[in-house]
Amino acid sequence: MASNSNLITKKHHPENLESPCAALDSYLTPNELFYIRNHFEAPRIDVKFWRLTVSGAVQRARDFTYDDLLAMPSRRIVATLECAGNARAFLGGSTPGIDWHLGAVGNAEWRGVPLSLVLAEVGFQHDAQEVVLQGADAGAIDKEPKTPGSIPFARSLPLAKALHDDVLLAYSMNGRELPEAHGFPVRAIVPGWYGMASVKWLIHLLICREPFAGYFQTFEYSHWERIEGNPTLAPLGPGEVKTEIVRPSSNERLKAGDVYLIRGSSWAGESHVASVSVSVDGGRCWNSAELLDPPQPYCWVRWQYPWNIPADVPSATLMARATDENGRVQPLEHAPEERHYSVHHVLPVTVHIE
Ligand SMILES: Nc1nc2c(c(=O)[nH]1)N[C@H]1C(S)=C(S)[C@@H](COP(=O)(O)O)O[C@H]1N2
Ligand SMILES: [Mo]
């Protein structure tokens, strides 16, 4: 797979590339600028021989060819995909995982067959609980906790989410054939969930009778929830409310007296952004930003705030935070329950004024 010079390399093997921050300033992220997150080397797939096998607790197990899926009714969804590890670099210290900055996120228009239609074709048995989505890529994890040899990339969805019309088996991205790096021929798009649920290079849907506890939803991509105060590990799912300031960047030098347009993007998992506030004084006062896109579920909105750069201070700390339609607000600190995932607290940007 050819390397992509538009993206910032975080790891060579397997290829993990992040978008430049400026890419967040375009509503739809062009395919060439969309981040790439791979756990194993990308598989080589010949679509002539590719099949999607659907089996397990079903009435009629069967394989689907690429043409079978193309012939089924399709839906178009615009959705922001964010890696649960995005912005991990801001946690400091020695956190495990790839040290993503601001660019493990993008927004695209996806087209594909609703997963619910494929599931309707095979029919569930009465005790079905989850759908495991399995990719064609596989490998052994040789750091503790080690895997028992090679494992595929796989994640499960509870039936309630799997049956939602907006969950797609996608074969197109921004009006073009799904690129190899993004899961050709077919990937899942689970809108509103962190990226790990949107399994690429799908080859198998396994309908299970009990919750799946695979590597990528236990050792990785899990967080702490509490049952009666007792911390219990649970798979990551829906995304949190999040904001990134796109301009200015940290340590930029700005001119006193200028009017500067602070810009950024905010998103809110399965819900939509209701408002964005900006502070130019380290969080003492908050002002409303102007939203530049109509808020929609699953999608980011871009926003701006015109700032009269003061002449009497050598530096300023800018902050931005969003509220969603359900009143969820971004926290000021990262919660330990989230481990090294879901980094969605307010990220201050300090600039110099001269
Ligand atoms: N088969 C497979 N699917 C996968 C992954 C993977 O490594 N293998 N990575 C997941 C993660 S963690 C993320 S964030 C998204 C990234 O999608 P992208 O590479 O198209 O941006 O894909 C998900 N689907
Ligand atoms: Mo991810």
The CB of 39 under 6 Å from ligand 1? The reply is: yes
| Residue 210, token pair as written in the block | 């009990």
Q: Which two three-digit tokens encode residue 10?
A: 């975080």
Q: Is the peptide bond preceding residue 14 cis, with omega within 30 degrees of 0?
A: yes
38 alpha carbon – ligand 1 mean position (Å): 6
Q: Which two three-digit tokens encode residue 170?
A: 């996608």
Smallest CA-to-CA distance from 316 within 274, 281, 289, 340 is with: 281
Task: Return the half-sphere exposure (C-beta side, CA atoms, 13 A cut-off) of residue 238.
Answer: 14
Distance separating alpha carbons of residues 134 and 204, to the nearest angstrom: 5
Tell me how far apart the alpha carbons of residues 316 and 348 are, in angstroms, rounded to a whole number.
10
The label of the residue with tokens 């981040």 reads 35
Pairing label, strands 151-158, 168-173: unpaired
Does the CB atom of residue 265 touch ligand 1 within 6 A? Answer: no
Q: Which one, of 119, 268, 139, 146, lies nearest residue 206 by Cα?
A: 119
For residue 50, report the distance from its CA to the centre of ligand 2, in Å. 25
Q: Is the CB of 19 inside a 6 Å radius of any atom of ligand 1?
A: no
Strand order in the sheet with 349-353: 253-254, 349-353, 315-324, 273-279, 287-288
What pLDDT, on the 0 to 100 scale, is given for residue 94?
79
In short, whether 108's Cβ falls inside 6 Å of ligand 1 is no
Where are the alpha helices (H) located in the chain, listed in sequence order?
66-70, 115-122, 159-162
Distance CA 142, CA 148 (A): 9
What's the gap in Å between 250 CA and the centre of ligand 1? Answer: 28
Q: Whose CA is nearest to atom 16 of ligand 1?
A: 37
**Structure token pair of residue 62:** 């069967």
Q: Which two tokens stand for residue 206?
A: 């396994």
DSSP lists the bridge partners of residue 170 as 112, 187
Give, for all 354 residues of the chain, the pLDDT tens digit: 445 689 999 999 999 999 999 999 999 999 999 999 999 999 999 999 999 999 999 999 999 999 999 999 999 999 999 999 999 999 987 788 899 999 999 999 999 999 999 999 999 999 999 999 999 999 999 999 999 999 999 999 999 999 999 999 999 999 999 999 999 999 999 999 999 999 999 999 999 999 999 999 999 999 999 999 999 999 999 999 999 999 999 999 999 999 999 999 999 999 999 999 999 999 999 999 999 999 999 999 999 999 999 999 999 999 999 999 999 999 999 999 999 999 999 999 999 999
Q: How far is the CA of 146 from the centre of ligand 1 (A)?
A: 20
- The contacts found for 92-99 with CB under 8 angstroms, 24 or more apart, are 95/340, 96/340, 97/340, 98/10, 98/11, 98/16, 98/37, 99/10
Q: Is the dihedral of CA 234, 100, 332, 319 positive or negative?
A: negative
Separation of alpha carbons 276 and 329, rounded Å: 10
Looking at ligand 1, which residue's alpha carbon is closest to its atom 19?
Answer: 36
Task: Judge if the upstream peptide bond of residue 73 is cis by omega within 30 degrees of 0.
Answer: no
Domains in the chain, please, with CATH? 8-235 (3.90.420.10), 242-353 (2.60.40.650)
Q: Which residues pair with 113 in a beta bridge?
A: 169
| Ligand 1 contact, 307 CB (< 6 A) | no
- CA–centroid distance, 178 to ligand 1, in Å, is 13
3-state secondary structure 18-33: ECCHHHHHCCCCCHHH
Contact (CB, 8 A) for 185 and 50: yes
pLDDT at 92: 84
Query: Does the beta carbon of 36 lie inside 6 Å of ligand 1?
Result: yes
Provide the pLDDT for residue 4: 66
Q: In 3D, which of 18, 118, 11 has the Cα closest to residue 72?
A: 118
* Per-residue pLDDT at 2: 45
299 CB under 6 A from ligand 1? Answer: no
